[in-house]
Amino acid sequence: MLHHKKSIAMLIFVTAFSAQAIAMDDHSAHNHATHSHASSTIGNPANASQANKIINVDLLDSMQFEFHSKMNIKEGDIVRFIVTNQGEIDHEFSIGSEKEQKAHLEAMKKMPNMVHHDGNTITLKPKETKELTWKFTKRNTVMFACNIPEHFEAGMHREITIK
Ligand SMILES: [Cu+2]
Protein backbone atom coordinates (compact mmCIF):
# COMPACT_ATOMS: atom_id res chain seq x y z
CA MET A 1 0.00 0.00 0.00
CA LEU A 2 2.73 2.40 0.94
CA HIS A 3 4.59 1.47 -2.18
CA HIS A 4 1.47 2.10 -4.26
CA LYS A 5 1.01 5.60 -2.81
CA LYS A 6 4.58 6.41 -3.58
CA SER A 7 4.16 5.45 -7.23
CA ILE A 8 1.11 7.64 -7.56
CA ALA A 9 2.95 10.57 -6.06
CA MET A 10 5.83 9.89 -8.41
CA LEU A 11 3.48 9.69 -11.38
CA ILE A 12 1.90 13.02 -10.49
CA PHE A 13 5.30 14.57 -10.13
CA VAL A 14 6.46 13.23 -13.50
CA THR A 15 3.26 14.36 -15.21
CA ALA A 16 3.53 17.85 -13.78
CA PHE A 17 7.14 18.03 -14.78
CA SER A 18 6.46 16.97 -18.39
CA ALA A 19 3.59 19.42 -18.65
CA GLN A 20 5.95 22.15 -17.59
CA ALA A 21 8.59 20.97 -20.04
CA ILE A 22 6.05 21.04 -22.86
CA ALA A 23 4.89 24.50 -21.86
CA MET A 24 8.48 25.70 -21.94
CA ASP A 25 8.98 24.19 -25.39
CA ASP A 26 5.86 25.90 -26.63
CA HIS A 27 7.07 29.15 -25.27
CA SER A 28 10.45 28.97 -26.99
CA ALA A 29 8.90 27.78 -30.27
CA HIS A 30 6.55 30.72 -30.11
CA ASN A 31 9.42 33.11 -29.47
CA HIS A 32 11.39 31.71 -32.34
CA ALA A 33 8.58 31.99 -34.84
CA THR A 34 7.59 35.50 -33.92
CA HIS A 35 10.31 37.58 -32.38
CA SER A 36 13.44 35.71 -31.38
CA HIS A 37 15.55 37.68 -33.85
CA ALA A 38 13.88 41.01 -33.26
CA SER A 39 16.01 41.82 -30.28
CA SER A 40 19.55 40.75 -29.93
CA THR A 41 22.44 41.08 -27.54
CA ILE A 42 24.02 43.65 -29.88
CA GLY A 43 21.05 45.88 -30.64
CA ASN A 44 17.61 46.02 -32.15
CA PRO A 45 15.76 46.97 -35.32
CA ALA A 46 14.92 50.64 -35.65
CA ASN A 47 12.96 52.98 -37.83
CA ALA A 48 14.74 54.29 -40.94
CA SER A 49 13.71 57.86 -40.06
CA GLN A 50 15.73 57.64 -36.81
CA ALA A 51 18.99 56.69 -38.55
CA ASN A 52 22.05 58.88 -38.04
CA LYS A 53 24.17 56.98 -40.59
CA ILE A 54 23.56 55.42 -43.99
CA ILE A 55 25.75 52.61 -45.28
CA ASN A 56 25.39 51.09 -48.75
CA VAL A 57 26.25 47.42 -48.99
CA ASP A 58 26.62 45.13 -51.99
CA LEU A 59 26.23 41.38 -51.73
CA LEU A 60 28.49 39.57 -54.18
CA ASP A 61 28.56 36.06 -55.61
CA SER A 62 32.22 35.97 -54.60
CA MET A 63 30.72 35.52 -51.09
CA GLN A 64 31.69 38.95 -49.89
CA PHE A 65 30.02 41.96 -48.39
CA GLU A 66 31.17 45.18 -49.95
CA PHE A 67 30.53 48.09 -47.61
CA HIS A 68 30.65 51.45 -49.37
CA SER A 69 31.39 53.46 -46.25
CA LYS A 70 33.85 53.09 -43.44
CA MET A 71 32.36 50.82 -40.80
CA ASN A 72 32.96 53.34 -38.09
CA ILE A 73 29.96 52.52 -35.92
CA LYS A 74 29.66 53.68 -32.33
CA GLU A 75 27.49 52.55 -29.46
CA GLY A 76 24.04 54.14 -29.90
CA ASP A 77 24.35 54.67 -33.65
CA ILE A 78 21.30 53.90 -35.74
CA VAL A 79 22.45 52.77 -39.15
CA ARG A 80 20.29 52.50 -42.24
CA PHE A 81 21.82 49.78 -44.42
CA ILE A 82 20.80 49.99 -48.08
CA VAL A 83 21.62 46.53 -49.36
CA THR A 84 21.81 45.42 -52.99
CA ASN A 85 22.33 41.88 -54.18
CA GLN A 86 24.69 42.37 -57.14
CA GLY A 87 24.89 38.63 -57.74
CA GLU A 88 23.00 36.05 -59.77
CA ILE A 89 21.90 33.99 -56.73
CA ASP A 90 20.02 34.76 -53.52
CA HIS A 91 21.94 36.21 -50.60
CA GLU A 92 21.15 37.22 -47.08
CA PHE A 93 22.19 40.18 -44.99
CA SER A 94 21.98 39.42 -41.30
CA ILE A 95 23.20 41.30 -38.22
CA GLY A 96 23.92 39.55 -34.94
CA SER A 97 26.46 38.46 -32.42
CA GLU A 98 28.74 35.61 -33.43
CA LYS A 99 26.71 33.27 -31.20
CA GLU A 100 23.42 34.35 -32.78
CA GLN A 101 24.81 33.89 -36.28
CA LYS A 102 25.98 30.39 -35.41
CA ALA A 103 22.47 29.50 -34.18
CA HIS A 104 20.98 31.04 -37.31
CA LEU A 105 23.39 29.04 -39.48
CA GLU A 106 22.29 25.79 -37.81
CA ALA A 107 18.60 26.70 -38.29
CA MET A 108 19.22 27.46 -41.97
CA LYS A 109 20.81 24.04 -42.49
CA LYS A 110 17.54 22.48 -41.33
CA MET A 111 15.33 24.93 -43.23
CA PRO A 112 17.32 26.18 -46.22
CA ASN A 113 14.38 28.03 -47.71
CA MET A 114 13.64 30.03 -44.59
CA VAL A 115 12.53 33.51 -45.54
CA HIS A 116 13.12 36.22 -43.01
CA HIS A 117 10.87 38.98 -41.82
CA ASP A 118 12.44 39.20 -38.45
CA GLY A 119 14.20 42.49 -38.02
CA ASN A 120 17.85 41.47 -38.10
CA THR A 121 17.87 39.59 -41.42
CA ILE A 122 16.80 40.28 -44.99
CA THR A 123 16.91 37.85 -47.90
CA LEU A 124 17.52 39.33 -51.34
CA LYS A 125 16.91 37.90 -54.78
CA PRO A 126 19.39 38.77 -57.56
CA LYS A 127 19.50 42.52 -58.32
CA GLU A 128 17.11 43.30 -55.49
CA THR A 129 17.68 46.24 -53.10
CA LYS A 130 16.27 46.21 -49.58
CA GLU A 131 16.84 48.19 -46.41
CA LEU A 132 17.49 47.27 -42.83
CA THR A 133 17.86 49.81 -40.05
CA TRP A 134 19.59 48.72 -36.88
CA LYS A 135 20.38 50.38 -33.57
CA PHE A 136 23.73 49.24 -32.17
CA THR A 137 23.29 49.32 -28.42
CA LYS A 138 26.54 47.84 -27.15
CA ARG A 139 30.29 48.09 -27.53
CA ASN A 140 30.70 44.63 -28.84
CA THR A 141 31.72 42.56 -31.80
CA VAL A 142 29.02 42.38 -34.41
CA MET A 143 28.88 39.82 -37.18
CA PHE A 144 27.32 40.45 -40.56
CA ALA A 145 26.56 37.14 -42.23
CA CYS A 146 24.83 35.39 -45.09
CA ASN A 147 23.59 32.10 -43.67
CA ILE A 148 22.38 30.57 -46.92
CA PRO A 149 23.85 27.04 -46.92
CA GLU A 150 27.52 27.05 -47.97
CA HIS A 151 27.75 30.85 -48.18
CA PHE A 152 28.84 31.45 -44.60
CA GLU A 153 31.35 28.62 -44.89
CA ALA A 154 32.67 30.13 -48.12
CA GLY A 155 33.50 33.30 -46.23
CA MET A 156 30.30 35.34 -46.43
CA HIS A 157 30.62 36.98 -43.04
CA ARG A 158 32.34 39.99 -41.63
CA GLU A 159 33.01 41.09 -38.10
CA ILE A 160 33.28 44.64 -36.88
CA THR A 161 33.79 46.19 -33.48
CA ILE A 162 31.35 48.78 -32.18
CA LYS A 163 33.30 51.54 -30.44
CU1 LIG B 1 25.15 34.61 -49.67
Rounded distance from Cα 14 to ligand 1 centre (Å): 46
**Residues 6 or more apart whose Cβ sits within 8 Å of residue 109:** 149
Look at residue 55 and tell me whether its pLDDT is greater than 90: yes
Mean pLDDT, range 73-80, rounded to an integer = 97
CATH number for the region 43-161 comes to 2.60.40.420
Residue ranges near ligand 1 (ion) with Cβ within 5 Å: 91, 146, 148, 151, 156
Q: Per-residue pLDDT averaged across 2-19, rounded?
A: 42
Is 90 exceeded by the pLDDT of residue 4? no
- Report pLDDT digits (tens) over 105-124: 998 888 877 776 668 999 99
- Share above pLDDT 90 across residues of the chain, in percent, rounded to a whole number: 65
Task: Give 102 Cα–ligand 1 centroid separation in angstroms.
Answer: 15
Q: Is the pLDDT of residue 46 over 80?
A: yes
Sorted by where each begins, the domain ranges of the chain are 1-34, 43-161
Distance 82 CA to ligand 1 centre (A): 16
- Cα–Cα dist 144/10, whole Å: 49
